[in-house]
């Protein structure tokens, strides 16, 4: 059974026949929020929060899906550039307010889940379990059906399979309950709203950088065998002309690169990784200028640079710009729906925020931010996976 079909069935259980218009009153939201005690606790990963008896770990918070900077992402990904650019104290100052909203959102989800579960009772447990198992199977398929690899990915998020399944069940039940109880804006999304949402999102989410990928035969005159050193440049250019003629006759560029190139990617048939043209440094920067005049699949040469004679085949080319509106329309629709959901939850968030201030959330937030900072700095110092040969363009 599809996950969203399950949501619809659970709605029927929670709301009941003929009661679909009933909404969660302010008094109910306040009672749901203020009756949940929030306490700090020791955890295997350091610190955790106990919310109404449920444990919220630091890993769950920093890897949770959140609405940050106009897009849905995780705190650990969103704050990474900031953490790599400033000191720990400055990072905490700058990240505290947006991260507090993430934490309140996580606490709100626990409160809503507990409240929704009390309302639904045991009637939905079987449907929730089945939906969660289906979602886990889809998750494993996203890793090529390799269950061990999928479980390792969960471990990197601080989760095991059991906690993942519980999280899916929580998400489904919350979605059902919010849909049935909280006042939401159910107006149809107009084309004008979609276009406005696209404009809001495009710089951060749909920007497309210029990118190229090419094969290169790099003939270096100083490696040419010649009785007269002054003839090496001429010999290099003559070899390039010969190779170009052989390509026109149908010989394979990759095979010729493996045999005749002096460049670092010789063993890979001259194939370089995808890159932005502006990342190429001298003497390879001449290649970037050449690709502006080329189409995908074309061969150019000989291209003369200091100490090199190049023959290049353009494998891929992407111009700078934005993803077309038509291809991202569904993402924009989800963005607008998420904004409406957040607005609907604002009264509940405000009440929970006040309750959280009475708890011990400041120390927990501080711990989470330090964890994000350490993780981000470790990633920054890890050696690049690029091959030695490809580092020449950095």
**Annotated domain spans of the chain:** 3-188+327-381, 210-319
Domain 210-319, second-level architecture = Roll (3.10)
Mean pLDDT of 313-336: 90
pLDDT digits (tens, 9 = 90+) for 28-59: 554 554 455 778 888 876 899 888 888 889 98
19 confidence band (pLDDT: 50, 70, 90): very low
pLDDT digits (tens, 9 = 90+) for 239-297: 999 999 999 999 999 999 999 999 999 999 999 999 999 899 989 999 999 999 999 99
pLDDT digits (tens, 9 = 90+) for 151-205: 888 887 777 888 888 888 877 877 776 666 555 566 888 999 999 999 988 887 8
Tokens coding 231: 């003839």
For position 39, what pLDDT does the model report?
A: 83
The residue to which tokens 């079909």 are assigned: 5
Integer Cα distance of 74 and 159 in angstroms: 15
Statement: residue 382 has pLDDT above 90: no
For position 308, what pLDDT does the model report?
A: 95
pLDDT digits (tens, 9 = 90+) for 107-154: 888 877 777 777 776 667 788 888 888 888 988 998 888 999 988 888
Q: What is the mean pLDDT of the chain?
A: 81
Q: CB count, 10 Å around CB of 33?
A: 23
Integer Cα distance of 117 and 96 in angstroms: 31
Q: Above pLDDT 90, what percent of the chain?
A: 39
CA 153 to chain centre: 14
* Angle, in degrees to the nearest 10, between helices 147-156 and 161-181: 70
Integer Cα distance of 313 and 215 in angstroms: 5
Nearest to 391 by CA among 249, 255, 238, 275: 275
Mean pLDDT of 315-331: 91
17 confidence band (pLDDT: 50, 70, 90): very low
Integer Cα distance of 175 and 231 in angstroms: 75
CA 201 to chain centre: 15
Is the CA virtual torsion 306, 307, 311, 313 positive or negative? negative
pLDDT digits (tens, 9 = 90+) for 55-76: 889 988 999 888 887 777 889 9
25 vs 288: which has the higher pLDDT = 288
DSSP string spanning 253-266? HHHHHHHH--STTG
The residue to which tokens 């091959």 are assigned: 387
């Amino acid at each position: 059974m599809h996950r969203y079909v399950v949501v619809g069935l659970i709605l029927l259980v929670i709301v009941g026949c003929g009661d679909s218009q009933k909404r969660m009153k302010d008094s109910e939201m306040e009672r749901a929020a203020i009756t949940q005690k929030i306490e700090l606790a020791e955890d295997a990963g350091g610190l955790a929060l106990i919310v109404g008896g449920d444990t919220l770990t630091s890993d769950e918070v920093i890897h949770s899906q959140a609405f940050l900077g106009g897009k849905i992402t995780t705190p650990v990904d969103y704050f990474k550039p900031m953490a790599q650019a400033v000191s720990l104290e400055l990072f905490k100052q700058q990240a505290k307010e947006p991260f507090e909203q993430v934490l309140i959102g996580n606490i709100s989800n626990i409160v809503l889940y507990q409240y929704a579960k009390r309302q639904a009772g045991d009637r939905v447990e079987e449907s929730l379990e089945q939906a969660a198992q289906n979602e886990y199977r889809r998750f494993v398929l996203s890793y090529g059906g390799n269950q061990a690899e999928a479980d390792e990915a969960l471990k990197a998020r601080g989760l095991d399979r059991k906690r993942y399944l519980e999280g899916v069940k929580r998400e489904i039940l919350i979605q059902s309950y919010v849909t049935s109880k909280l006042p939401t804006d159910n107006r149809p999304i107009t084309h004008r709203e979609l276009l406005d949402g696209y404009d809001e999102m495009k710089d951060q989410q749909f920007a497309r950088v210029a990118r190229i990928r090419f094969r290169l035969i790099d003939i270096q005159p100083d490696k040419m065998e010649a009785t007269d050193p002054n003839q090496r440049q001429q010999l290099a250019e003559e070899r390039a002309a010969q190779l170009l003629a052989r390509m026109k006759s149908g010989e394979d560029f990759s095979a010729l690169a493996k045999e005749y190139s002096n460049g670092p990617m010789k063993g890979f048939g001259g194939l370089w990784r995808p890159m932005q043209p502006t990342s190429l440094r001298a003497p390879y920067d001449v290649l970037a200028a050449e690709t502006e005049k080329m189409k995908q699949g074309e061969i150019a040469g000989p291209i003369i640079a200091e100490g090199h004679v190049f023959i290049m085949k353009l494998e891929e080319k992407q111009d700078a710009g934005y993803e077309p509106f038509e291809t991202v329309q569904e993402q924009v629709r989800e963005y607008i729906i998420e904004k409406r959901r957040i607005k609907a939850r604002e009264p509940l968030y405000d009440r929970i925020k006040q309750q959280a201030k009475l708890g011990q959330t400041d120390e927990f937030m501080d711990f989470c931010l330090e964890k994000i900072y350490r993780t981000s700095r470790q990633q920054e110092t890890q050696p690049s996976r690029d091959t030695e040969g490809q580092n020449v363009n950095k």
